Amino acid sequence: MNKYEPLWEEYGQNPRKSQSEDVYNHGFVYMYHRSTWMKQPFPDVETVGTKDADFIKQMKKHGLTARPVEPRSAEALAAVGWHRDATCGAKEAPANINHSQVLNFMMFRGEEVERNPRCFSAHIPLIKETASELVARRERYLKDLVDEHGSLQVCAFCNFAVTLSRCKKAERTVSEKMCIVDAYEGTQSYDRFNQKFDVGEYSSAGGAVAEGHWQPTNGNWLRGQVQRMAICRNCGFQLGWRFEPEGAPKECNSPGCTYLANQSLSGRNKDYCCSGCARGSADPSSWGTLEHDGECQKLPVPKIEGPVFWSFIWRHVRERNKPGEHVPEESDRSRHTETVYNRKKKDVCPQGHKLRCFCTGQGNGGALPLYYICDVCDVPARGAQHLWGCGSCDYDMCDKCMSKR
């Protein structure tokens, strides 16, 4: 934990400051006496995740000490695991521990080991057997779905079934205005720039869940809608967005508090869960996202009125037609070849699938730049760079290579 990790820079963070704060921000490292908890207990509220850093800060206010455990050998291990019901699989949530960026960071941090730790040697065969059975179970489930409903779209990251192909309503282009984070240069723009995504619009998606505070939409065809992130119910990867009719009250960040059901507040205050949210800031754009546990009225959530629909970034989903199909695995080799499908063409992958536009960058549908390398020129993607990709083949092409073809 105390070792400098360059990964922080790839996420557009100040590595020294962020690492020092993150040391105490994951519950799996905690060990404390009952007397410590009695001085600073966890709050008795329903929440999607405990606020570990706040717990440590309060401990320090009481004069209690906290420090990371130093391993006694090079083979010391710490296991990290989040129960799905505490992350994305159980329910939709205004705020959720399972933000895809957090999962990505946990996945990539640390270093590769040269060999299996000795303490794992006896368990490796069992792990391989379990992994094989999980894949077989997924394929059996896929076969049942395809036999009954036809082809479906799965998460391109974990192959979890997301939606049926027959639920597609239209193909669209979504434009998102976001600040550009360049992890290589360690900079972030003040202005917001248009970033485009080719998406498929679907009427339903049982394998996805909405997450985050709602945000206004950008685009004429989305007029009258607001959006939340749409994440894979299995792995938490952000696949796109869910849209719902505008007019729903905003929610705040306080645990247990969501929307306003009480219309007794007057004027602008009636759009928020309680008066604390509305009066908490002079900036209207921040209303509904403040934390005020002591004052919060914690009013219940009303049901969304009107239909919702989903827009999935084509690069982040993969079409499956039958079990046993080839599924691309992580590889250091380029996936580019000249075939009868793509020879002298720039708009299809080597298998003839249409290439779709998407933008890399922090918060952009899970499309962190470190995930993508142009399969033609072998150059890694940069932040806020538009690429053209195929989720079914895990194939990508940069703008420069596309213009040359």
Chain segment 232-265, per-residue pLDDT in tens: 888 778 899 999 888 766 666 665 565 544 444 4
Q: What is the pLDDT of residues 160-177, one digit of tens each?
A: 899 999 999 999 988 877
Is the per-residue pLDDT at 358 higher than 80? yes
- What pLDDT sits at residue 354? 95
Count of structural domains, the chain = 1
How many helices (H) and strands (E) would you count in the chain? 8, 12
Beta carbons of 217 and 227 less than 8 angstroms apart: yes
Out of 145-149, 259-263, 319-323, least confident range: 259-263
Is the per-residue pLDDT at 98 higher than 60? no
**Banded pLDDT at 88 (limits 50, 70, 90):** very low
Q: What single-letter DSSP state applies at residue 154?
A: E
What b/e sequence results for 328-358 when a residue is b if at least 16 CB atoms lie within 10 Å of its CB, and e otherwise? Answer: eeeeeeebbeeeeebeeeeebbbeebebbbb
- Is the residue at 110 inside a domain? no
- What pLDDT sits at residue 368? 76
Q: What single-letter DSSP state applies at residue 40?
A: S
Distance CA 336, CA 404 (A): 15
Distance CA 172, CA 195 (A): 14
Q: What is the pLDDT of residues 271-294, one digit of tens each?
A: 666 666 665 555 555 555 566 666
C-alpha distances out from residue 115 to 171, 223, 234, Å: 46, 55, 29
- Is the residue at 276 inside a domain? yes
- What pLDDT sits at residue 341? 94
Q: What is the pLDDT of residues 175-206, one digit of tens each?
A: 877 766 554 455 566 666 778 899 999 999 98
Average pLDDT over residues 32-61: 69
Beta carbons of 348 and 355 less than 8 angstroms apart: yes
Q: Which tokens go with 76? A: 């010391």
Q: What single-letter DSSP state applies at residue 348?
A: B
- Is the residue at 256 inside a domain? yes
Q: Which tokens go with 370? A: 């470190």
- Is the residue at 288 inside a domain? yes
- By residue range, what is the domain housing residue 293? 249-303
- Is the residue at 289 inside a domain? yes
Select the more confidently predicted residue: 119 or 317. 317
C-alpha distances out from residue 126 to 134, 139, 185, Å: 12, 20, 44
Hunting for tokens 């989040």 — which residue is that?
82
Mean pLDDT of the chain: 75
SS3 content of the chain, % helix, strand, coil (to 5): 25, 20, 50
- Measured from the Cβ of residue 43, the count of other Cβ atoms closer than 10 Å reads 13
Out of 27-36, 45-54, 193-202, least confident range: 45-54
Beta carbons of 256 and 293 less than 8 angstroms apart: no
- What pLDDT sits at residue 33? 83
Closest CA to 206 of 248, 150, 167, 245: 167
Cα–chain center distance at 44: 28
Closest CA to 247 of 271, 227, 217: 271
**What's the half-sphere exposure (Cβ side, CA atoms, 13 Å) at 403?**
4
Element (H, E) at 359: strand 356-359
**Banded pLDDT at 77 (limits 50, 70, 90):** low
Distance CA 351, CA 353 (A): 6
- What pLDDT sits at residue 90? 41
Distance CA 398, CA 360 (A): 11
- Is the residue at 285 inside a domain? yes
**Banded pLDDT at 104 (limits 50, 70, 90):** low
Beta carbons of 156 and 391 less than 8 angstroms apart: yes
- Is the residue at 96 inside a domain? no
Closest CA to 161 of 93, 239, 82: 239
Partners of residue 357 on adjacent β-strands: 388
**Banded pLDDT at 73 (limits 50, 70, 90):** confident
Sheet strands side by side (includes 225-232): 168-182, 187-202, 309-313, 238-245, 225-232, 208-216
- Is the residue at 380 inside a domain? no
- What pLDDT sits at residue 260? 45
Closest CA to 97 of 107, 82, 87: 87
- What pLDDT sits at residue 255? 57
